[in-house]
Amino acid sequence: MKLHELDISQLSGLIGRKEISVPELTRSVLDRISEIEHKLGSYISIDEERALVRASEVQEKIDKGEIKSPLAGIPMAVKDNICTRDMTTTCASRMLDKFIPPFDATVISKLNENGAILLGKLNMDEFAMGSTSFYSYFKKTKNPWNSINTPEVLCEGTPVSVAAGEAVYALGSDTGGSIRQSASMCGVVGLKPTYGLVSRHGLVACASSFDQIGPVTRNVRDCTLVLNAISGKDHMDSTSTGTSIDDYSKFLGKEIKELRIGIPGEFINNKGLLEEGIGKVFQDAVNTLSGTGIHFEEFSFPLMEYVLPVYCIISYGEISSSMARYDGIKFGYRAESCEDLIDLYKKTRGEGFGPEVKRRVILGTYFLSAKQYEKYYKKALKLRRAITDELEKALEKYDVIIGPVLPVTASTFTEHAGNPAMANEYDAFTCIANLTGLPAMSIPCGRDAMGYPAGLQLFGRRFREDILLKVAYAFEQNLGEVK
Amino acid sequence: MNFNNEMLEHMADTARIGLSEGEKEELLSTIQEIISIADGIIDADTSGLEPMEHVTTLKNVFREDKVDEPYTREIILSNASETNEGCFSVPKIVE
Amino acid sequence: MNREKDYEVVIGLEVHAELATSSKIFCSCSTEFGGLPNTHCCPGCIGMPGTLPVLNKNVVEFAIRAGLATNCEISGFTKMDRKNYFYPDLPRAYQISQYDIPICKDGFIEIEINGVKKKIRIARIHIEEDAGKLVHDQWSTGSLVDYNRSGVPLIEIVTYPDMNSAEEARLFLEGLKAILQYTGVSDCKMQEGSLRADVNISVKPKSQEELGVRTEMKNLNSFRAIIRAIEAESRRQIEELESGGKIYRETRRWDDEKGVSFSMRSKEEAQDYRYFPESDIPPVIIDSEWVEEIRKSLPELPETRKRRYMEEYGLPAYDAEIITSSKALSDFFEETVKNGANAKTASNWIMGELLRLLKEKGVEDDSIPFPPVHLAKLIDIIEKGIITGTIAKKVFDNMFDSGKDPVAIVDEQGLKVVADTGTLLPVVKKVIENNPGSVADYKAGKTKALGFLMGQAMRETKGKADPKLINQLFIEELEKL
Ligand SMILES: [Mg+2]
Ligand SMILES: [Zn+2]
């Protein structure tokens, strides 16, 4: 078995037993990157030298018994919208092409304390507006499951790096479904935690009340290990919340047959949205799980019809505001030879932003404008409340709610990545978790007719990642890994 | 009212985004499509509902009124494209 | 109709006061005034991506204090909102402020104009962040931005259009300033921009019910400028209407040097601020317990102090008003009295010599160059007859310039009263000898002449003669004649 195919627990065991050293492991993942990165394009930047220096330091600390974390010495990478001190953080935008934050995101500081080895920064859609890297200023990242016989599928760098062995695990961000959608298409595990469980300090804002950082890993156990390290209250993020759970891995392997699991009828009976191929993968997975005695129940989620419009209106409104600071003055791209201030603003933002950012900013500006505010934004905030109440009520009855991650296959998804209205519709199943702040994750559940992986989505109760992960782990045991 | 070209220009101006004619054309049609998705809530009954302004249920999250060491000016200015006399510089503003 | 008196001027104010916190509203940078450009900054207050605001608790408490001191209702639930607009001094391109639920609302301040009390209603007080500073260097090709002030906490106090003259506006501002200083909410240093006002003005014929079209003048940062701007703008509007013109809803810029205002931009194309809730900051719930705790900690306010000075110390209303209008002056007065001085005497010194010297030397009343105990000592040595009133004024001047203890000044310069007959009798005799005219007048029953003679003797002794003794000696000597 090759080192880059092992998971966190296995590698941590090898390091602990001194069967491999941290520099050796780091070197081996860097070699894997050299081997395959030119085909995939997961990374925007890789800092080999820094990673190797860090590897030696961490090895020393492990030897002295100064770090005990299972993440100690494990090479990983983060999406390029998470601030890293003295390392570019570009958000895959021309606007932040050369931006070097003078501080680390809280998740980075926490991972550093755990002895993580940061290899580099991963490709994404510009300012996290999408899940395919179609809108990256730098390059398009390819799904590692691409083959000559299938249409090419694009993906964010985050899950690709994990699926292809270019990182043992990665951190992504999820505003409308990025972590789960891209994990789903690559056959890895992705978690969007409850809003507030992981500090957003250092995450470049897309839509502030939707954004959340989460782990992308090879399996559910790895997911718990990373979540242990990055979660918790942070005084730099007013919306972050502490939790009494210190180790999510201890819930794995517990019996789940007693639990009640709900499936919203609107997910699977929605013939217009749900592609047949995906419906089948999902149904097969449910059948397999039912066969082991797990009980599923369909329920009705009538407000589903408002999810997409509400998501669009509020998130685009927030985006229009969080993108306003990019003006060429304090940081980032600045257009040349500007006559006056207005000219500086318009040229800088016209040249520095790509089409999807511009579209969302203009739409958000419109939804927030005085004349439209009541009609769109305020009404959407009210419906956000109703949708949240309805889903929380369902979660009083069900311990977990499940459905497909995407309504379409990876190839259909990629095909329409450049079609804003359709791309939007594909967020319908995932953005529910961002609208409500509830935790949700994607675990692999099979492959579509083209051979691309597809994910099963699980929604949990607020701050009850313990139940969510316990169920996900049990499912994973029965569904097997995507090979 | 329909989101027309004039509205597009007005919104792009408000958002300080310069657009080429080609961009305008492409944006106009996709923006109209998304507005029709947004229009899906127009007939929704929201009577008796309070706007959800915060996703978190936290309240009264404060910091104590304490001063920390400031960042050096060098760091503060380090990402700016143009600086002058310890300041960020902008085209001349005539008031 | 063509007289200013046929019109009514209607004035509303929006006052911004910087709060006296140590750190900024959303980050832990210092709020200290001055410093080299961009040295009181962090990634947060220059709007860097990835940073998040965390609300300073003192800002909320100061706003509640200001609200309670101005008779406002405190909101049980309040939240922050984003106000979106582009300007280089606003680093995130949105100001975190409050929109529909301000922290305080529906208060008032009472002013007294020509002996009549009038309530000026306060619509709201909300908290928000200040912007940075733009420096316009006339020699360079660009403008410069300094974010030291970016994120300094402000309260914005919005009044109803309840004022009808520049004088009323001045009285309101004086009253507000005193309250903010007393409660420790703001130091209100206008020269440092910690108190500034936007003025909304309209005029209407007195016979007319509805208000006229209003104009707004922004960021006036001295009382003098505010008064002059109101006077000039109301005159301009009346003249405009009189000559058949129209008033437009617009923002005008006041040029204090020239004494005129200019139209900046019309409100028709007013900015759309696209306010919406700030989700990065959880709501603030202010329960009655918290409010009561703050209410209990409020110091005595100027109005109460003024009444107490009148009742307890018997100060005239005018003196009590002047002294309490400044917290610094009032505190100085209280300390002087605490150190044993008679209140009325202390008040006379403050109202007279102290205010005169402060004004003459351009010293702010919070920087009086000697401590209150010195004034108390000075009053004490006058009352004990150690120095005379004439000498006391000299000692006071000296005290103001040198900051020295009055007793030391008297000792060093030998200013003590001369009260022995052996020294004073020859002086009295000499004055009588040299002023036969006045002596004759006195003898003829013109008692005033005695005053003149005493004045001569004082001059001879450089003001040090004990007035009682010298008076007695004159009467005795003149009797003998
Ligand atoms: Mg304001
Ligand atoms: Zn700061």
Q: What is the CATH number of the domain that holds B32?
A: 1.10.20
Helix and strand element counts for chain A (H, E): 17, 11
Nearest chain C residue to A315, by CA: C279
CA of C263 to the centre of ligand 1 (A): 20
Residues counted in chain B: 95
Angle, in degrees to the nearest 10, between helices A355-368 and B5-14? 90
Task: Give me the DSSP letters along C67-107.
Answer: HHHTTPEEPSEE--EEEE---TTSTTSEEEE--SS-SEEEE
CB contact under 8 A, A379 and B80: no
Query: pLDDT at position A203, please?
Result: 98
CA of C59 to the centre of ligand 1 (A): 15
Architecture category of domain A1-483 in CATH: Alpha-Beta Complex (3.90)
pLDDT band (50, 70, 90) for residue C464: confident
* CA proximity to C105, closest of C156, C62, C174: C156
Query: pLDDT at position C266, please?
Result: 56
- Which C residues, 332 through 361, put their C-beta within 8 Å of a C-beta on chain B? none
CB contact under 8 A, B87 and C39: no
Query: pLDDT at position C115, please?
Result: 85
Report percent pLDDT > 90 for chain C.
67
Contact B46/A at CB under 8 A: yes
In a domain, B10, yes or no: yes
Q: Are C281 and C96 in contact (CB under 8 A)?
A: yes
pLDDT band (50, 70, 90) for residue C418: confident
Contact A362/C at CB under 8 A: no
Query: pLDDT at position A296, please?
Result: 95
- Which B residues, 47 through 76, put their C-beta within 8 Å of a C-beta on chain A? 49-56, 58, 61, 63, 71, 75
In Å, how far is B33's CA from the nearest CA of chain C? 23
Alpha-carbon C460 to chain mean position: 44
Do C151 and C204 belong together in one domain?
yes
Do C80 and C218 belong together in one domain?
yes
Nearest chain A residue to B87, by CA: A330
- On the question of pLDDT at C315 being above 70, the answer is yes
CA of A314 to the centre of ligand 2 (A): 28
Do C72 and C196 belong together in one domain?
yes
With contacts defined as CB-CB under 8 Å, which chain B residues touch C147? 76, 88
CA of C357 to the centre of ligand 1 (A): 37
CA of A321 to the centre of ligand 1 (A): 18
Name every residue whose Cβ is closer than 8 Å to that of residue A206 and which is 6 or more positions away in sequence.
Answer: A81, A127, A128, A129, A173, A175, A315, A318, A319, A322
CA of C46 to the centre of ligand 2 (A): 7
CB contact under 8 A, C38 and B62: no
Higher pLDDT among residues A198 and C452, named by residue: A198
B40 phi and psi, to 5 degrees? -60, -15
What is the domain count for chain B? 1
Q: Which ligand is nearest to the CA of C38?
A: 2
**Measured distance CA(C48)–CA(C74) in Å, rounded:** 33
The tens digit of pLDDT for each residue in C185-240 reads: 999 888 788 899 999 999 999 989 899 999 999 878 888 899 999 999 999 999 99
Scanning C183-261, the segments in alpha helix (DSSP H) are: 223-242
Q: Are C44 and C27 in contact (CB under 8 A)?
A: yes
Query: pLDDT at position C143, please?
Result: 92
**Measured distance CA(A407)–CA(A428) in Å, rounded:** 8
In a domain, B67, yes or no: no
The shortest CB-CB distance from B49 to any of A329, A358, A385 is to A385
Q: Residue A173: left (phi > 0), alpha (psi -120 to 50), or beta?
A: beta
- On the question of pLDDT at C2 being above 60, the answer is no
State pTM to two decimals. Answer: 0.92
CA of C329 to the centre of ligand 2 (A): 34
CB contact under 8 A, C142 and B91: yes
In a domain, B53, yes or no: no
Chains within contact range of chain A (3+ C-beta pairs < 8 Å) = B, C
Chains within contact range of chain B (3+ C-beta pairs < 8 Å) = A, C
CB contact under 8 A, C55 and A238: yes
Query: pLDDT at position C114, please?
Result: 87
Q: Are A380 and B40 in contact (CB under 8 A)?
A: no
The tens digit of pLDDT for each residue in B4-60 reads: 999 999 999 999 999 999 999 999 999 999 999 999 999 999 999 999 999 999 999
Query: pLDDT at position C366, please?
Result: 86
- On the question of pLDDT at C94 being above 90, the answer is yes
Contact B38/A at CB under 8 A: yes
Query: pLDDT at position A131, please?
Result: 92
Task: Give me the DSSP letters along C269-295.
Answer: G------EE-TTS--EE--HHHHHHHH
Alpha-carbon C145 to chain mean position: 30
Do C201 and C125 belong together in one domain?
yes
- On the question of pLDDT at C108 being above 90, the answer is yes
CA of A439 to the centre of ligand 1 (A): 38
Query: pLDDT at position A213, please?
Result: 98
Full residue range of the structural domain in which residue B36 is found:
5-42
Query: pLDDT at position C258, please?
Result: 87
Q: What is the DSSP letter of A329?
A: S
Query: pLDDT at position C449, please?
Result: 87
Structure tokens of A276?
A: 């047949």
The structural domains of chain A, with segments of one domain joined by +, span 1-483
Q: Are B80 and A330 in contact (CB under 8 A)?
A: yes
Q: Which ligand is nearest to the CA of C85?
A: 1
How many Cβ contacts (< 8 angstroms) between chains B and C?
126
What residues have their beta carbon closer than 5 A to ion ligand 2? C 27, 29, 42, 44-45
Question: Which residue type sits at A321?
Answer: S
Among B2, B21, B30, the strongest candidate for a mutation testing the A interface, having the largest count of A CBs within 10 A, is B30
**Measured distance CA(B23)–CA(A355) in Å, rounded:** 8
Query: pLDDT at position C420, please?
Result: 84
Query: pLDDT at position C466, please?
Result: 86
**Measured distance CA(A273)–CA(A428) in Å, rounded:** 9
What is the domain count for chain C? 3
Angle, in degrees to the nearest 10, between helices A48-63 and A22-40? 150
With contacts defined as CB-CB under 8 Å, which chain A residues touch C52? 200-201, 236-239
Q: Which ligand is nearest to the CA of C156?
A: 1
Among A117-126, A351-360, C36-45, C357-366, which is the least confidently predicted range?
A: C357-366
Full residue range of the structural domain in which residue C356 is found:
300-413
Do C454 and C400 belong together in one domain?
no
* Domain-terminating residue out of C394, C413, C432: C413
Query: pLDDT at position C309, please?
Result: 94
In a domain, C374, yes or no: yes
In a domain, C475, yes or no: yes
Do C408 and C464 belong together in one domain?
no
Structure tokens of C90?
A: 């606003």
Do C343 and C476 belong together in one domain?
no
**Measured distance CA(C339)–CA(C219) in Å, rounded:** 42
Query: pLDDT at position A173, please?
Result: 98
How many Cβ contacts (< 8 angstroms) between chains A and B?
166
With contacts defined as CB-CB under 8 Å, which chain B residues touch C38? 73, 76-77, 86-88
Structure tokens of C297?
A: 């900690």
The predicted complex's ipTM stands at 0.96
The mean per-residue pLDDT over the stretch C423-436 comes to 89
Structure tokens of A79?
A: 């999406």
Q: What is the DSSP letter of C465?
A: B
**E strands within A71-185?**
75-79, 117-122, 169-174
* Domain-terminating residue out of C290, C318, C333: C290
The tens digit of pLDDT for each residue in C140-199 reads: 778 999 999 999 999 999 999 999 999 999 999 999 999 999 999 999 888 788 899 999
**Measured distance CA(C310)–CA(C302) in Å, rounded:** 12
Q: What is the CATH number of the domain that holds C461?
A: 1.10.10.410
With contacts defined as CB-CB under 8 Å, which chain A residues touch B34? 312, 359, 363, 420-421, 424
- 10 Å CB burial of residue C426 (0-12, 13-18, 19+) is exposed
CB contact under 8 A, B17 and A235: no
Do C138 and C282 belong together in one domain?
yes
- On the question of pLDDT at C265 being above 70, the answer is no
The mean per-residue pLDDT over the stretch C402-410 comes to 92
CB contact under 8 A, B23 and A355: yes
Chains within contact range of chain C (3+ C-beta pairs < 8 Å) = A, B
- On the question of pLDDT at C111 being above 90, the answer is yes
Among A90, A107, A236, A372, the strongest candidate for a mutation testing the C interface, having the largest count of C CBs within 10 A, is A236
* CA proximity to C458, closest of C387, C398, C399: C387
Do C396 and C427 belong together in one domain?
no
Neighbours of C241 (CB within 10 A): 18
CB contact under 8 A, B84 and C143: no
With contacts defined as CB-CB under 8 Å, which chain C residues touch B88? 38, 88, 144-145, 147
The mean per-residue pLDDT over the stretch C30-37 comes to 94
CA of C139 to the centre of ligand 2 (A): 30
R_g of chain B, CA atoms, integer Å: 22
Nearest chain A residue to C95, by CA: A321
Q: Encode chain A (483 residues) as per-residue pLDDT tens digits.
A: 688 889 999 999 999 999 999 999 999 999 999 999 999 999 999 999 999 999 999 999 999 999 999 999 999 999 999 999 999 999 999 999 999 999 999 999 999 999 999 999 999 999 999 999 999 999 999 999 988 788 889 999 999 999 999 999 999 999 999 999 999 999 999 999 999 999 999 999 999 999 999 999 999 999 999 999 999 999 999 999 988 899 999 999 998 888 999 999 999 987 778 999 999 999 999 999 999 889 999 999 999 999 999 999 999 999 999 999 999 999 999 999 888 999 999 999 999 999 999 999 999 999 999 999 999 999 999 999 999 999 999 999 999 999 999 999 999 999 999 999 999 999 999 999 999 999 999 999 999 999 999 999 999 999 999 999 999 999 999 987 665
In a domain, C295, yes or no: no
